[in-house]
Amino acid sequence: MAQSTFNDLEALRISINIEKRGERFYKAAARKLDDPDVKDMLNELAVQESEHAETFRMLYDQALENKEYFDDSYLFDPDVSAYFYAMVESTIFPNEKEQDEVIDRIQNVKDVLKIGIQAEKESILFYTEMVIYSKYVEAKDAFRKLLQEEKSHLINLQGLLAKYED
């Protein structure tokens, strides 16, 4: 990305995209696998990702409406900005083309869960950084809330993987 700085509005926009990628991933995985229980589980994970995206979308719209009162003159250190962009571009849920390639390689629910676990870990890292660096109070609160949910998802996915590995 050409821009070398990162602000809260961008963080919210990127968070929407991360959650939408997660929703797409789980829906595609559900379509690929045959077990009805697995399909239900993956579709529920997709719904949760969609709900997260909607939370961020509302915050983004609110921040955009109040932009004249929103001090975005602060900009993160360029090194921090470069780190965030690199993290988002190379981790969490891949873009659509890469996601399609990943979905093609999925053989079973364990493959999906392993990818989900890695994505949750990366989301936790991203949202932790956003809690630390965000200046917009509502965004910081949303990142905290979602961070707790992502941790819960991680524990849930790890438990499911253990169940399927037995």
SS3 content of the chain, % helix, strand, coil (to 5): 80, 0, 20
Tokens 């990366």, residue? 122
Cα(85)–Cα(160) distance, integer angstroms: 31
Q: Which of 129, 127, 152 is nearest to 55 (CA)?
A: 127
How far apart are the C-alpha atoms of 25 and 127, rounded to whole Å?
A: 19
Per domain, the residue ranges of the chain are 8-165
Global pTM value? 0.79
Q: Selecting from 1.10.1740.10, 1.20.1260.10, 3.40.50.300, 3.30.1200.10, what CATH number does the domain 8-165 have?
A: 1.20.1260.10
- Render each residue's pLDDT in the chain as its tens digit; 166 residues: 333 345 677 777 888 888 898 999 999 999 999 999 999 999 999 999 999 899 888 888 877 776 655 444 444 456 656 666 666 666 566 677 888 888 899 999 999 999 999 988 988 988 898 888 777 787 788 888 888 888 988 999 999 999 988 7
Measuring CA to CA, how many Å separate 66 from each of 2, 45, 52, 69? 26, 32, 21, 5
- Is 152:24 a contact under the CB 8 Å cutoff? no
